[in-house]
Amino acid sequence: MNREDQEAELIERDTMMTCREDRLQEALQVNINASNDTQIKIRLLLFQDLTEQDSCHVNSEIEKAEAFMEDLKAERLQFQADCDHARAQREDIARFLHEL
């Protein structure tokens, strides 16, 4: 493969990784927004003036929201790791392009 072909391939890979990183950043922001919304929901549920019967329902809703928060946290960690990986690949591509 000649230099021009290598350069074109690296630029194409960089473009793909940039798009991937952008999509991951968008997904990460959606995750953060969902986490913030869920925290607000939990706070509102905690500060309601409830009857005993309502209390059981609210406790169930709080447990569901807390489980959802845990899922969001795990997903967020994966998005962050994937973003870091994409960024590292782009740095490698930039180094390879510089060395050509």
User: What pLDDT is stored for residue 72 in this prediction?
Assistant: 98
Write the single-letter amino acid at 97. Answer: L
The overall pTM is greater than 0.75: yes
Report long-range pairs for 54-62 (Cβ below 8 Å, ≥24 apart).
none
Model confidence at 1, pLDDT cuts 50, 70, 90, reads confident
Confidence at residue 100, expressed as pLDDT on a 0 to 100 scale: 81
Q: Which residues of 42-73 are buried (b: 16+ CB within 10 A; e: fewer)?
A: beeeeeeeeeeeeeeeeeeeeeebeeebeebe
User: What digits encode the pLDDT tens for the residues 10-65?
Assistant: 999 999 999 999 999 999 999 999 999 999 999 998 888 777 777 888 899 999 99
